Structures are given as C-alpha cells and as structure tokens.
Amino acid sequence: MTLWIIIALLVSLGSTYYGWASLRRGMPNKVVTFVLGIVTCLAITMALAARGEVRGACPLMDVGELFLFIAWSLSLFFVLTGGTYRVSLLGLFTSPTIALFLGIVLVPGLLTENPPKAQVLDPWKESHAATSILAFGGLGLGALASLMFLILDKRLKLGAPDWISMKLPPVNTLISSVSRLLTGGVVILTIGIIAGIISSLESGLVHLVAAGAVWVAYCVLLIWYKWKGMPPRSFALWTMGLFIISCVIFMFI
C-alpha cells in the first residue's frame, strides 16, 4: 500500500511542477494534465483498495486513512469536473494539495499498523462513510477554486495583474464554478447522510451528527449566496473556511 501512496505522491508533485512550469511558458497541456490526474487517482485507488483489504471494511478508521480518502476524492472530482467547469487550471492548486495530504498520510503513526479486521459489515454504514468523504472532493475543489478567485480578485483590485492572474479564468467563471462544485458536494453529502440515517449507527452516531452539521452549514452558505446576494469575495472566504473547519472536525471524531 505504501508503494502506491509514494507513486501517487510523486506523480502529484510532478504534475505540480509541470503545471506551474508550463504556465510560465504558456498554458499546461490539458491532455497531459488529465493523464497525470488519472494516474494519481488510480494510484490512490489502489492504495485504498489495499488498505480496505486489510481493514475488511471502508478504510476510514484513523487520521491517515481520512487524509488518504480526501486526497482520492479530490483527485477523482478534478478528473471528472476539471474540464467540465472550464477551470482546468484548477490542477495548479489541486495537485499540490493532494501531494500535501499524501505527505501527511506517510507521517509515521497516522496509519494504524496491523489494524483489526472488521467481522461484520453494514452496507449502509459503509456507504455513509464513503459518500460523506467523497463529498469532500467537491467541497475541497470549491475551496481551491475560491483560493484562485481571491488571488485573481486581489490582483485586479490592486491594478497589478501579473503573469499568473492574466492566465486564470475570469472571476465570474471561477465563482460560478465554486457554486457548482459546492452544490455537487452537498448533493453527495445528502446521499451519505441518508445512508447514515438508514444504517444502525450505534458507534458512528457522532460522525453522522458531524456530517449533518457540515451539510447544514454548506446549505446555509449556498442559500445565502444564491438567494440573499452574498458578495462573491465573502462567499469564497466562507467556502475556504468551512472546508478547513470540516477537515479539522473529522480529524478528531
């Protein structure tokens, strides 16, 4: 399993270098970026499959597995939606974030050695755990798109556009992508919460409550932005803040 994590880490680092180096010369090749994203996603998938075999269940039992799963969901969402939302340059921020999470996974002690194998499986509980973390792929990409928006917005307001801001997508495209990514993440999280409610979550009730609280927070944010006219900059800041808070919450429960 460790080998697959290292491969994914190296590919994501290589993708980061390729993206930023290419941006200096022109624009990264979308095909190359897409292929690197697929390889990263496949390598993380193999690592999760190996860990799941050891666990005998969805590998979401310790901090290392949590970060591994979030890295996978980020890579999967980017492969599926990066081009769709016309923000292919989102890979410039996604790849280093995935590399950071994979680096954290490799910190000694975060992945439990010789974990006990599950004897009984609850399909609904497994679905709740997997879809809840998968939703973080959309929410995380939304946070990264928000970061791109804030960088571009700041540079434009200063009247000092540089080579980076000149190549980023328009602010309207970015903020629209944030809204769509968050909406997709919330839809998947809704499915996860429903699965959790159906399941007998005696030992996972805290996770279900936490997922519900995150769901409510993002729903309020989307409603506030779409129907109450929240300023785009505030929307981007709240998107980033909620994602960071959500990650911290799930690290300690």
Give the percent of the chain with pLDDT over 90.
Answer: 31
Total length of the chain = 253
AA identity, residue 147? L
pLDDT (mean) for 160-175: 73
* Model pLDDT for residues 196-244, shown as the tens digit of each residue: 787 765 556 777 788 888 899 999 999 999 888 889 999 999 999 999 9
223-248 exposure pattern, b = at least 16 Cβ within 10 A, e = fewer: eebeeeebebbebbebbbebbeebbe
Residue 130: predicted pLDDT: 77
Domain residue spans in the chain?
A: 1-113, 124-253
Residue 28: predicted pLDDT: 77
Residue 156: predicted pLDDT: 77
Here the tokens at position 86 are 């016309």
Model pTM above 0.85: no
- When computed from its CA atoms, the radius of gyration of the chain, rounded to whole angstroms, is 18
